[in-house]
Structure 1
Amino acid sequence: MTGRYARRYARLVTMPSVTSTPTAGTAALADATASDAALRRFLHGLPGVDAVGLEARAAMLGTRSIKTTAKAYAIDLAISMIDLTTLEGADTPGKVRSLSAKGRRPDPTDPDTPKVAAICVYPDMVATAKEALAGSGVKVASVATAFPAGRAALPVKLADTRDAVAAGADEIDMVIDRGAFLSGRYLQVFEEIRAVKEACVREDGTAARLKVIFETGELSTYDNIRRACWLAMLAGADFIKTSTGKVAVNATPPNTLLLMEAARDFHAATGTRVGVKPAGGIRTTKDAVKYLVMVNETLGEDWLSNEWFRFGASSLLNDLLMQRQKLRTGRYSGPDYVTVD
């Protein structure tokens, strides 16, 4: 299987043998990013997306059903993959502390409930979240780079990132410049991602993981989404992410499947593993299970952990908790069983 996907891209660039060295893939693709013309040639040389086939496969995978024992496992796995998020202008330290407490212990009546993967906040709230989550193992993620529009000069975006990292962010969620991308200024977008990646490095040499958000609803075509995926992965993204959750069209099964296929193909071609994060519009346990089936069928079991797959969907947590409680006790509790974020 791996060899088939590696051969698929062999005509575009000479790939190394598959290796676990994190930088091997991007180093081997240096020629593709040497100039704007080379990057354009590479990205436009990627295989075109069969829209009908993509949507049909996403729909087919969405019909899979799982039994009770597997469903219980899937619910716990999904809870552990959530980036519990508050990104509002009215956010306060108290709201961030409350959300952090929920992330640490999503169901106070059941200590066996998994913790979420991360709490995601604006940069000025990172220190508050970090303090509230100390010792819990829950990560602190911060949006940056003038989220959600990304309309700011590069020095401003880098300062935004450095502030979040200095405050203790474990992960940075950046947005690409969609205007530059849609104008065909691919090298500008590539260099911006690289610069933000460098800004994620702390003084002690450790680094926050970088999630790159495409805002797929604004990229117009599946081919553009595929190109954005490869652009970000070539630039060193640790995760590729569909959306900000702030526009009309966010994560959908087809566009998320496209991200998964890109991550699979990139790994097959380079040996470098990249995570995937659908965000926005995923609200029910049924939805979450569909995405987990998609991960298993497309990327395999190695991606079925919060190290490599996340849900950017805060409202999803409440439904997962309700369904978990139903499996555990045989009944639903009242509407006050879960907190309203």
Structure 2
Amino acid sequence: MTATTSPAAAPETPSPLTDVTRDEASLRRFLHGLPGVDQVGVEQRAAGLATRSIKKEAKRWAIDTAVSMVDLTTLEGADTRGKVRGLAAKAMRPDPERQDCPRVAAVCVYPDLVETAVEALAGSGVRVASVATGFPAGRTSREVKLADTRQAVEAGADEVDMVIDRGAFLEGRYLEVFEEIRAVKEACGSAHLKVILETGELATYDNVRRASWLALLAGGDFIKTSTGKVSPAATLPVTHVMLQAVRDWHERTGELRGVKPAGGIRTTKDAIKYLVAVHEVAGEQWLTPELFRFGASSLLNDLLLQRRTQVDGHYSGPDYVTVD
């Protein structure tokens, strides 16, 4: 695997898939006409790729790439402005003693803390992401979901992470889910939209594929596995299915969309398994924070420890990094 530059913006041409969303019947026919996922096959391939090792000289690059893809996240009821400021400081300088350590991609907070994050990260290049739409359950009216989104964007959020209505999806009300994602995308304005599928509640890989395509059809810039509040959260096989979706979307439309696994990714070894999957399933072009992110906080701590090991030649204990 080698580093890659950020891709060019997607061409501004009408999607050739527009007709499939004209009504419920057309959308259902399209989604249920997608190739079924071979459960055994995708799990075996994920397990096989997870055993791949990378050369020692490439490990430092992999660690730095993973650091640059982290959405440093705090989504707790007890979050304070002070905690967000501390997280922002860590995002900008993950390892204060190592000036060459890359910044993370974004800091992700609740809408009411976006303004604090924006102020703390001003001029740093680290983006501010905000969950919205009644996160994590999404059990509220569309009016409230859109107000939630607008609050985040008006406060300065660069990215919005929305949750889909899993109940509507599982009942087969696909057009309703599609229209809600489109409405949220419109409310985002210039902010990027990450669509959380909550794959742990979708039950099957076929549903993950259908939900991925539904989110892409509706304009999601990223498809994201999980809120981190439901188990299982991110898994390698599910991420494989989602990477296949964005790869196939690109082949059909020419548009590049991203993937964000979130929840349960805690170690450098785990992160490298996901980077291998990105390279082998979607392609090298996706090995950039513009198209792949990790939704995590504890992951960053281990990445920093392993980075010090690579640089210094010996293991540094957890006392050498800030622990969230």
TM class by shorter chain equals: over 0.9
1-side partners of 2:55 and 2:298: how far apart?
24
2:145 pairs with 1:157: yes
TM-superposed CA distance for 1:22, in Å, is 4.2
Do the aligned partners of 2:262 and 2:294 also contact (CA within 8 Å) in 1? yes
Aligned counterparts of 2:37 and 2:316: Cα–Cα separation in 1: 45
Paired position in structure 2 for 1:227: 210
Three-state SS of the structure 2 residue aligned to 1:312 is: strand
Tell me how far apart the structure 2 counterparts of residues 37 and 330 of structure 1 sit (CA, whole Å). 60
Secondary structure of the structure 2 residue equivalent to 1:75? helix
**1:68 deviation in Å?**
1.4
Q: TM-score, normalised by structure 2?
A: 0.96
Structure 1 residue 302 displacement after superposition:
1.1
Q: State the match for 1:92 in structure 2.
A: 80
**Matched residue of 2:295: which SS?**
coil
Q: State the Cα distance separating 1:24 from its structure 2 match.
A: 3.1
Aligned mate of 1:104, from 84, 88, 92: 92
> In 1, distance between residues paired with 2:104 and 2:57?
21
Which blocks of at least 5 consecutive residues in structure 1 are unaligned? 1-18, 202-206
* 8 Å Cα contact 2:20/2:27 also seen in 1: yes
Of residues 230, 255, 260, the one that matches 1:247 is: 230
Match of 1:24 among 5, 10, 14: 14
Letter in 1 for 2:220: A
Instruction: Give runs of aligned pairs for residues 158-237 of structure 1, distance below 5 A.
Output: 158-201=146-189, 207-237=190-220
The aligned residue for residue 121 of structure 1 is 109
Q: Which residue of 2 aligns with 1:204?
A: none
Deviations 1:25-59 (A, max 9, x none): 2xx21210000111011100111110011001111
Q: Post-superposition, which runs of at least 4 consecutive aligned residues in structure 1 deviate over 3 A?
A: none
Do 1:105 and 1:113's aligned partners in 2 also have CA atoms closer than 8 Å? yes
1:301 CA drift (Å): 1.5
CA deviation digits over 1:175-213, x for unaligned, max 9?
000000001000000000000000001xxxxx0000000
Q: Are residues 1:325 and 2:308 paired?
A: yes
Matched, 1:302 2:292: no
Which residue identity lines up with residue 37 of structure 1 in the other structure? A
Gaps of 5+ in 2: 1-8
Aligned 1:54-65 pairs, distance under 5 A: 54-65=42-53
Number of aligned pairs? 316
Give the structure 2 partner of residue 145 of structure 1: 133
The one-letter amino acid paired with 1:249 is: P
Partner of 2:24: 36
**Between 82-91 and 62-71, the greater mean CA deviation after superposition:** 62-71
CA RMSD of aligned residues (A): 1.0
- Give yes or no for contact 1:22–1:271 (8 Å, CA) kept in 2: no
Q: Does 1:47 align with 2:35?
A: yes
Q: Secondary structure at the match of 2:214?
A: helix
Letter in 1 for 2:80: T
Q: Give how far 1:113 is off.
A: 0.3
For 1:175, the aligned partner's letter is: V
**For 1:174, what is the secondary structure of its paired residue?**
strand
SS where residue 140 of structure 1 aligns? strand
Question: Which residue identity is paired with 2:261?
Answer: P
8 Å contact from structure 2 (residues 168, 176) kept in 1: yes
Q: CA deviation at 1:236?
A: 0.3
Equivalent residue letter for 1:161: T
Which residue type is aligned with residue 40 of structure 1? R
Q: Per-residue displacement from partner, 1:281-331 (whole Å, max 9, x unpaired)?
A: 000000100100111111112111100000001110000000000011111
Give the letter aligned to residue 100 of structure 1: A
Please give the alpha-carbon distance, in whole angstroms, between the structure 2 residues aligned to 1:233 and 1:52: 25
* Secondary structure class of the residue paired with 2:146: helix
The answer (yes or no) to whether the contact 1:178–1:214 under 8 Å persists in 2 is yes
Identity of aligned residues (%): 71
What CA deviation, in whole Å up to 9, does each residue of 1:211-258 have, x standing for no partner?
000000000011000000000000000000000000110000000000
Q: Give the TM-score normalised by structure 1.
A: 0.91
Contact conserved, 1:24 with 1:272, CA < 8 A, in 2? no
